[in-house]
Structure 1
Amino acid sequence: MFFSATLGAWVVTRHADISAVVADTARFSSAESITVGAATMPPEVVTALMDGYPLVPSLVDNDPPAHTRFRGLVSKAFTGRRLAEKEPSIRALVDELISGFMYEGQADLFLRFAHPLSASIIAAILGIPREDISRFRRWSDDLTTVLAAHGPVENQVAAARGVVDFQRYLASALEERKAAPREDLLSDIVTEGQGMTPPMSMAELVSLLMQVHFAGHETTAGLIVGGVELLLNNPEQLQTLRNEPDLIAGTVEEAVRMVSPVHAMFRTALEEVEIGGVTIPKGAHIRIVYASANRDEARFHEPERFDIQRPDVKKHLAFGHGLHFCVGAPLARLEARLALEALLRRLPGLRLVPGQKPGFLRSVTVRRHESLEVAWDVQALPAER
């Protein structure tokens, strides 16, 4: 436990302490859980955002009973039955994307595979046309810039305008679904949201969808790319997986632990409370570092070692814990499993391109590569058709 003047928050790093904080919703609020500690938003950005809908709390940054209302709107889309129905289409998309670059011999795995895969899947669930996915990628980057308050003010203002465009797109799609519902999450959300007491406002629905979209592809893309990097940097584990393909589920879980795509979030103390022997005052902001908890030597044996057969791997906190356990965790696990299986099967001699220094997304909550160059043996592939 320590106080960070830069973040203006107490930082919690141990597995046991973080588990206690996230389980105690009566004393620790999730309001502003993705924005507290970020740099102050410039007034020009605030002005630009006023042209759209207010960024109201919805799923991640909310407490009961409001959180329960929002979670109920999206949870049905990620049940085991619905995901089992989607597995064939996800598998087909994985193969389609790989086929698009497999004879090139080298590719940026994030740009060519992980991001379009996760973005296309969440778009299909929401009901977004595939031709609009590139716009959503840009808007997602804009949202990240606004929340992180990063870069020159003029860039932040441009990003804020992009966020407003994002909101207007979603609001228009919701209005269309009101008039003519379809078999998609947008229709489910607007229909059920309007039937609640009180009805969900458009600002609430738009904020919810922005969170679902962002969480549904940025974190999973980060998991896929990070998982590949871990396997290629640990050839003995890679060989073990090739020898025993049934270890894929454990491989994904260990990758989630080590990558920790959501590396940290925030809470606010609702009363004076003690954490790890330190007294935290009422109203204090708290940064819970999942990435640290997932490498806590008091919880995991040799936590810095990548071990696809780790027996207690599911004790990690990468998907959160308790009330805010990630509603999309089953989908993330499914996507990562199918992606890793196909990449290892279809790209012989898969390896990292030496000398690269991939950067990471600038975010106070999400950790993912901005690129990862890989290569493979084209000569070992069947003749191109």
Structure 2
Amino acid sequence: MSKDSTSSGLGSEYNPLDSPQLENPHPFLARARREEPVFFSPLLGSWVVTRHADISAVVADTARFSSAESITVGAATMPREVVTTLMDGYPLVPSLVDNDPPAHTRFRGLVSKAFTGRRLAEKEPFIRALVDELISAFIQEGRADLFLRFAHPLSSSIIAEILGIPRADISRFRRWSDELSTVLAAHGPVEHQVACARGVVDFQRYLAAALEERKTSPREDLLSDIITEGQGMTPPMSMAELVSLLMQVHFAGHETTAGLIVGAVELLLNNPEQLHALRDNPALTAGAVEEAVRMVSPVHAMFRTAREDVELGGIPIPKGAHIRLVYASANRDEHRFHEPECFDIRRPDVKKHLAFGQGLHFCIGAPLARLEARLALEALLRRLPGLRLVPGQKPGFLKSVTVRRHESLEVTWDAPGLDGLARP
């Protein structure tokens, strides 16, 4: 089957960066699994794979499918003005998620120590204190945007603590992350993309300066570990490699977790029987987090490149073709999960999900994401009685080719006012 023949089918309708698929991609993805589980998207210049079995097979087969360009496939369509602007900074070189062995192994080794069970246990008191600090800042208001006031500051502050970034700079990092998403997606007006590219260059320069400072004044943080160990490798890692690695760690370390927390709260508030079960038995929180990971799938999709002519789902894929693996679709595949559209915090088959990837590229930060989400849910349900969604809201979503998360989520609860009465 050729690109021309497939582009006249579902491929011509596929647009995950715009409405209505941006807000709710699942009806289209369910249709794709039934009618055309592998199709070509002219918009993305990629073959799109939607079934769990096919996606799992691709991820496991590193010999035939490369992770190179797994997050930068949109770079091929970057406007010339954007490319020129990015030349003022460091090259966007492959590092962690967009790399293959043996180079991938070098990069993974640099950051893996920061996410061991021992390191996370050491950080748990800090995370608990931060969760309570954030909630205390708005608990008396009776209403808040859970993304802006809680989930994003929480995940941003935690990855900043691990990296060694001052909390005063976190707001800049949030802006830079949004700008990096826009550049990688190559989406929107050219003028906006160019402005975002300038932000990416600023991001790179900040990280390079921090690494240079750690050369002479090392601290107990990941920035110091990376510059020290990176320079000691044979051959030593370049500044471009280290900066690219840190950009990936920062982006993955907070965008996806913030999306998971907000998505988990929304799922619970939209499923009151599950919420009541969790309130009655907090021991179910870990299962609730895992089920939320499956249904939210913060890493919505990732790319691979075919190293040779291959066949997926009975469709021939040519050598060199880009392949979009839609994890969010795999995680709701009817052939893998019983009643996949049902949110069930006791789901027995939940561990079959691919939300953290699998194999060589299994998410290095998965234990941290699970810990953050568990502590966040426990505290929110404990401290915000009557927690519920504000009706009628239409939260926006980040426009990204890899990550899908809310940009806001308005919630309210029974908070006592200054007069001692509950606020509406």
Once structures 1 and 2 are overlaid, which stretch shifts more, 41-50 or 324-333?
41-50
For the pair 1:119 / 2:179, whether they are aligned, the reply is: no
State the partner residue of 1:68.
105
Deviation track 1:276-331 (CA, whole Å, cap 9, x = no partner) reads 22221111111100000000010000000000000010110000010000000000
Residue 137 of structure 1 is matched in structure 2 by 174
Using the TM superposition, give the Cα deviation of residue 150 of structure 1 relative to its aligned residue in structure 2, in angstroms. Answer: 2.1
The reply on whether 1:161 has 2:198 as its aligned counterpart is: yes
Q: Does residue 336 of the first structure (1) align with residue 373 of the second (2)? A: yes
Does the CA contact (< 8 Å) of 1:237 and 1:307 recur in 2? yes
CA gap of 1:382–1:256, structure 2 versus 1, over 3 A, is farther
Gaps of 5+ in 1: none
Provide the residue aligned with 1:210 in structure 2: 247
Aligned residues: 384
Q: What whole-Å deviation, never above 9, does each CA across 1:327-356 have from its counterpart, x for those lacking one?
A: 000000000000000000000000000000
Residues 140, 417 of structure 2: 8 Å contact kept: no
Q: Residue 31 of structure 1: SS of its match in structure 2?
A: coil
What residue number does 2:306 align with?
A: 269
Q: Does 1:176 align with 2:213?
A: yes
State yes or no: 1:288 paired with 2:300: no
* Alpha-carbon distance between aligned partners in 1 of 2:238 and 2:420, rounded to the nearest angstrom: 55
Task: Give unpaired runs (5+ residues) of structure 2.
Answer: 1-37
Distance in 1 (CA, whole Å) between partners of 2:46 and 2:215 is 42
Query: 1:251 matched to which residue of 2?
Result: 288
Alignment CA distance shift 1:295-1:38 (3 Å): farther
| Structure 1, 142-151 or 321-330: larger mean CA deviation | 142-151
Q: Which amino acid is 1:31 matched to?
A: A
Q: Deviations over 1:27-51 (max 9, x none)?
A: 0000100122567111111111111
Which residue of the partner structure matches residue 55 of structure 2? 18
Kept in 1: contact 2:385–2:414 (CA 8 A): yes
CA distance in 2, matches of 1:57, 1:382: 57
Scaled by the length of structure 1, what TM-score is found?
0.98
Amino acid at match of 2:322: H
Aligned residue for 1:102, secondary structure, equals helix
Q: Supply the distance in 1 between the matched residues of 2:272 and 2:418 (Cα, whole angstroms).
A: 21
Alignment match, 2:222: 185
CA distance in 1, matches of 2:319, 2:74: 16
Match of 1:95 in 2: 132
Q: Structure 1 residue 299 and structure 2 residue 305: aligned?
A: no
Q: Provide Cα deviations, 1:158-191, integer angstroms capped at 9, x if missing partner.
A: 1111111110110000001111111000000000
2 CA distance for matches of 1:277 and 1:98? 51
8 Å CA contact 2:395–2:407 kept in 1: the answer is yes
Q: Distance in 2 between matches of 1:300 and 1:212?
A: 31
Alignment root-mean-square deviation, CA: 1.4
Letter in 2 for 1:98: I
Q: C-alpha distance in 2, partners of 1:382/1:85? A: 41
Match of 2:408 among 367, 371, 382: 371
In 2, distance between residues paired with 1:2 and 1:77?
39
How far is the alpha carbon of 1:213 from its aligned partner? Answer: 0.3
Following TM superposition, the consecutive aligned residue runs of length 4 or more in structure 1 with deviations greater than 2 angstroms are 379-384
Distance in 1 (CA, whole Å) between partners of 2:173 and 2:218 is 22
Task: Return the match for 1:78 from 105, 112, 115.
Answer: 115
Q: Deviations over 1:49-74 (max 9, x none)?
A: 11110000000111111000000000
Aligned-partner Cα distance in 1 for 2:208–2:42: 39
**Alpha-carbon contact 2:356-2:366 (below 8 Å) kept:** yes
2:145 pairs with 58, 83, 108, which one? Answer: 108
Partner of 1:233: 270
Q: Which residue does 2:65 correspond to in 1?
A: 28
- Determine if the alignment matches structure 1 residue 152 to structure 2 residue 189: yes
